[in-house]
A and B are shown apart, each in its own frame.
Chain A
Amino acid sequence: MSSAQTQSVRTGRVTRSFIYLFLLVSALFYLLPFFIMLLNSVKPLGEITGGNMMAMPEVFTLEAWKAAWSTAQVGVEPTGLRPYFWNSIKMVVPAVFISTILGALNGYVLTKWRFKYDTILFGLMLFSCFIPFQIVLIPMARILGIVGLSGSTYGLILVHVVYGVGFSTLYFRNYYAAFPTELVRAAQIDGAGFFQIFYRILLPSSGPIIVVCVIWQFTNIWNDFLFGASFASGSGAPMTVALNNLVQSSTGVKEYNVHFAGAILAALPTLLVYIVAGRYFVRGLMAGSVKG
């Protein structure tokens, strides 16, 4: 999104003030919930239950963060979110890696080595991104049970690769469609084979789309709840499931400050990616919706 071509609509003073007011109020709307969460995560519990959520903390404490990370009761064990955070990392890294590589190769084949019915095959892969995953839950649970992967990180890796490859293929296909086919032809005449063309010609120019794809897959897989809750609810659960267990636990006093710290911990990796590479994140969002 470049602002190179901003429109030259002229607006009056009153209209302009209204526009700024609207934009600022909206910004407040988007910022407030997260800001309040952050604010209250550094208060002792008493200040939250007895006080005003908008008030600045009277006592600044990181106890809630420590508790959320390493001692809070998640499910039955007082382990904090730490082990689940690593579960998520162990799941996300391989799943992102595999689905991105597969997507890159698929996109390469579907644009540069076209064959009969390739668009139909791509359509089948693309539709798989949009299905309600409820439709595959039952058989997936069965299969993971049969091959002994239920409750494990490996099972979730498989699931996320399977249901992520459609999007990664979409990204690389759209990107490579704009990559000049004449370069591939020239390399063929020069004597480069299928994989040589991919490694030597296409891959070195794929930096931006690799970033887009990795960010998208990372965000999606990290934030997934349905698959995690369905196939890995015990000690193998990913961060989102553990956070939900922490927040929903019905026993004892509701430790809001710990919940907030936990929620921010769960949000931190994707938020960090968004702050560092927001531009690519937006590109990924757009490419996933308005294709072309």
Chain B
Amino acid sequence: MIRQGEVDFRTRLQNWIPKVVLSPSLAMVLVFVYGFIFFTIYLSFTDSRILPSFGLVGMENYSKLWRLSHWTTSLTNLGIFAFFYITVCTALGLALAIFLDQKIRGEGVLRPIYLYPMALSFIVTGTAWKWFLDPGIGLEHTMHLWGWTSFKFDWIKNRDFAIYTIVLAAVWQTSGFVMAMFLAGLRGIDNEIMKAAQIDGASNWNLYRRIVIPLLRPAFLSAFVILAHLAIKSYDLVIALTGGGPGRATELPATFMYSYTFTRNQMGIGASSAVIMLMTIAAIMVPYLYAELKEKS
């Protein structure tokens, strides 16, 4: 009997090559994502101003942060923005998806029209809407020219309503995407279930309320998670549309972090605001990703 060496070269090679191939990406992610996260967390406990410095100051940055009206305004704005953005996107996306699913003539033309803003940069979206909403030249001006002189639409210049213009532009950009998610969900529903419900005498309203919409639960969850994380990360659109103004009416945590870190030279406070943003997103994403990955393996 010929006795082989324990494991031959080829098998050993095959055991370590995959790990070697994965390691550059993994190293990148570990350093540039997780390493950096820890670095920023560390900075949030230091007295860093214009440059990182390493004098530990405990929780001082956080307590300062929560005393800043600028920060609390940003959070309030985020709350309003996220609530309306998520609700309107979901409602509009769901309505479009359900209506499109009724054997609509021209579905192939309509669907891409609803979705194309998703391919644009927020900066482009912001440029378009900034002007469209400008009362002196955009929609209000046009209505006046058309003879509707009492028409008033100056939200973008109004401290109380400016945040809703952000909602409007953001909904314009992403609601088509939510529509696509719901449409995929609808098309995935077993037709026989629909038939059975119709034979049971369910009206269209009841069919959707009692059967279809509950079956779309996974799509609702995905839409919520994606929209919530987009809301928290929103930065470009605000910069392009309002620059955070008028006043601080459209400041969000993302713009707050940027201005405190890079223009006001309060890096410690900027870092602590970034940490809070990360924790908020993690609270939403981690359970979601965990459930998704667990389901798969």
Contact = CB atoms under 8 A, between A and B. Distances in A.
A contacting B, Cβ–Cβ less than 8 Å: yes
Interface of A: 1-3, 5-11, 15-16, 19-20, 22-23, 26-27, 29-34, 36-37, 48-49, 51-54, 102, 105-106, 108-110, 113, 115, 119, 121-128, 130-140, 142, 161-163, 165-166, 169, 177, 188, 193-195, 219, 222-226, 229-230, 240, 243-244, 247-248, 256, 259-260, 262-264, 266-267, 270-271, 273-275, 278, 281-282, 285-286, 289-292
Residue of A7, A9, A52, A225 with highest tally of chain B CB at under 10 A: A7
B56 interface: no
A135 B277 contact: yes
Interface stretch (B58-66, B111-119, B158-166): B111-119
A32 B131 CA distance: 12
Given A11-B102, A127-B289, 14 more contacts: A7-B191, A36-B128, A106-B21, A124-B30, A136-B32, A139-B35, A139-B40, A166-B29, A219-B119, A247-B240, A260-B127, A263-B127, A274-B116, A289-B225
- Majority secondary structure of chain A interface residues (helix, strand, loop or mixed): helix
Contact of A137 (B22, B222, B274): B274
A130 B229 contact: yes
Contacts of A131: 33, 37, 278, 281
Nearest to B39: A139
A36 B262 CA distance: 36
A281 B119 contact: yes
Contact of A244 (B13, B119, B131, B239): B239
Given A5-B191, A33-B132, A225-B121, A244 B240 contact: yes
Given A29-B172, A127-B286, A139-B36, A256 B103 contact: no
30 contacts: A6-B187, A11-B102, A19-B102, A23-B96, A26-B114, A27-B114, A30-B116, A32-B132, A33-B125, A123-B290, A124-B33, A125-B25, A125-B26, A125-B29, A132-B233, A134-B257, A136-B36, A137-B258, A138-B40, A138-B267, A188-B14, A194-B13, A223-B120, A244-B123, A244-B240, A256-B137, A274-B116, A281-B119, A285-B180, A291-B296
Contacts of A135: 36-37, 40, 274-275, 277-278
Contact of B127 (A113, A139, A247): A247
Contacts of A263: 123-124, 127-128
Interface string B97-112: 0011111100100111
Contacts of A6: 101, 103, 187
B218 interface: yes
A22 B25 CA distance: 47
Contacts of B204: 9-11, 15
A128 B113 contact: no
B123 A243 contact: yes
B270 interface: yes
A172 to B, nearest CB: 11
A105 B289 contact: no
A170 B269 CA distance: 34
B278 to A, nearest CB: 5
Interface in B1-52: 10, 13-14, 17-19, 21-22, 24-26, 28-30, 32-37, 39-40, 43, 52
Contact of B270 (A52, A54, A138, A270): A138
A1 B108 CA distance: 11
A140 B33 CA distance: 10
Contacts of A105: 21-22, 25
Contacts of B120: 223, 267, 270-271
A119 B295 CA distance: 11
B150 interface: no
A10 B116 CA distance: 30
Contacts of B96: 23, 26
A289 B181 contact: yes
A15 B132 CA distance: 32
A7 B274 contact: no
Nearest to B219: A290
B75 interface: no
Contacts of A2: 187
B43 A138 contact: yes
B177 interface: yes
B233 A133 contact: yes
A105 to B, nearest CB: 5
B184 interface: yes
Contacts of A139: 35-36, 39-40
Nearest to A229: B239
Nearest to B108: A3
A85 B235 CA distance: 22
Contacts of A22: 95, 99
B254 interface: yes
B68 interface: no
